[in-house]
């Protein structure tokens, strides 16, 4: 966690962008946007932005509207937004704070004060992110994160090596998710991911089973001590459970609703190291996609690369 924190500075006037960037670039990584559209694009391209400094008066889309749109995606709800503006009336400030800004800085601003306030907010951001990683949970879907999965996979792989027991792993991908996001919007995309995570979590029962968000629209299901028949059954149930949520997907070639493709493998630790188990499951996932998506393809270790 020693990475530089990222600040997005949004202001239509280049002199403000330059001043703020000079003030902060020694301590932080600075991204710039000169209007609302650009700001939203930067944010979509850099989900790890830690804080946004947002001008209010900008042509076309003003800062209030930008904030409204930012807050539409659950992925962004934790990113603190600070208004920095010459609209200095208490009513303006009230409006900004009510919309969800965490702070309000008046222009002309005092560089030292800006810096100190940002330091305070960014300290909280760092602590929250650290906590998320430490507890092993994904902030959006509230299921395990990739780090927790990596640890669990290694632990179960060791157990399989000791006991010679079977280990099943499924890789899961939301079908045509990019098209979903592009057409239905990121806010709907977040809901689809949350519902998918919840449906997946609902299909496992034993304490050692784990559902995790692997990244983006990819999930994993780790099923220790489970044979291929049992694991396939669980995967089939997960696949059906997600489609039965009936989240309209107007741009999927697989169904009218949000669906997933699942590729899985059952093997023992002697067949492959943990990284290869993921790769093998991924090959079956690829096959599930090739064969039309919204389905489960399960195999054994015979696909060794
Ligand atoms: Mg302005």
Q: 6 C-alpha to center of ligand 1: Å?
A: 21
Helices (H), the chain: 14-24, 36-45, 63-71, 90-98, 111-135, 146-163, 177-184, 186-203, 228-243, 274-290
Predicted structure pTM score:
0.67
Nearest to 249 by CA among 258, 262, 240: 258
Q: What percent of the chain has pLDDT over 70?
A: 98
Res. 73: pLDDT tops 90: no
Strand partners, 31: 8
Res. 1: pLDDT tops 70: no
CA distance 123 to 217: 29
Q: Which helix (H) or strand (E) holds 225?
A: none
Q: 50 C-alpha to center of ligand 1: Å?
A: 22
Please report the domains of the chain, with CATH numbers, ordered by start residue.
6-135 (3.40.50.2300), 146-303 (3.30.70.270)
Most confident of the ranges 68-72, 103-107, 170-174, 300-304: 170-174
Q: How far is CA 1 from CA 46, 125, 164, 276, in A?
A: 17, 12, 37, 28
Q: 83 C-alpha to center of ligand 1: Å?
A: 11
Q: 293 C-alpha to center of ligand 1: Å?
A: 48
Does residue 110 sit in helix, strand or coil?
Answer: coil
Instruction: Tell me the average pLDDT across 265-287.
Output: 95
Query: Which positions are catalytic?
Result: 217
Nearest to 149 by CA among 160, 165, 138: 138
Q: 8 C-alpha to center of ligand 1: Å?
A: 15
DSSP-derived letter for residue 4 is: P
Q: 48 C-alpha to center of ligand 1: Å?
A: 25
């Amino acid at each position: 966690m020693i990475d530089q924190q990222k600040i997005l500075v949004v202001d239509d006037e280049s002199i403000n962008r330059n001043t703020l960037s000079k003030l902060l670039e020694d301590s932080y990584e600075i991204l710039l946007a000169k209007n609302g559209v650009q700001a939203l694009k930067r944010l979509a391209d850099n989900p790890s932005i830690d804080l946004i400094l947002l001008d209010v008066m900008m042509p076309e889309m003003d800062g209030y509207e930008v904030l409204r749109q930012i807050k539409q995606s659950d992925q962004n709800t934790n990113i603190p937004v600070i208004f920095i503006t010459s609209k200095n009336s208490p009513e303006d400030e009230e409006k900004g704070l009510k919309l969800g800004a965490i702070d309000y800085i008046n222009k002309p601003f005092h560089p030292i004060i800006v810096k100190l306030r940002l330091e305070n907010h960014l300290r909280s951001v760092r602590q929250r992110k650290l906590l998320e990683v430490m507890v092993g949970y994904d902030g959006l879907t509230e299921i395990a994160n990739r780090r927790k999965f990596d640890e669990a996979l290694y632990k179960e792989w060791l157990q399989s090596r000791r006991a010679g027991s079977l280990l099943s792993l499924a890789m899961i991908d939301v079908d045509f998710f990019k098209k979903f996001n592009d057409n239905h919007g990121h806010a709907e995309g977040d809901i689809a991911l949350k519902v998918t995570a919840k449906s997946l979590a609902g299909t496992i029962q034993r304490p050692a089973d784990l559902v995790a968000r692997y990244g983006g629209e990819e999930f994993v299901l780790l099923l220790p001590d489970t044979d291929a028949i049992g694991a396939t059954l669980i995967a089939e149930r997960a696949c059906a459970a997600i489609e039965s949520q009936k989240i309209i997907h107007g741009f999927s070639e697989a169904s009218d609703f949000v669906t997933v493709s699942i590729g899985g493998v059952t093997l023992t630790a002697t067949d492959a190291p943990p990284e290869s188990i993921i790769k093998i499951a991924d090959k079956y996932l690829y096959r599930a996609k090739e064969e039309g998506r919204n389905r489960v393809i399960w195999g054994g270790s015979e696909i060794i690369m």
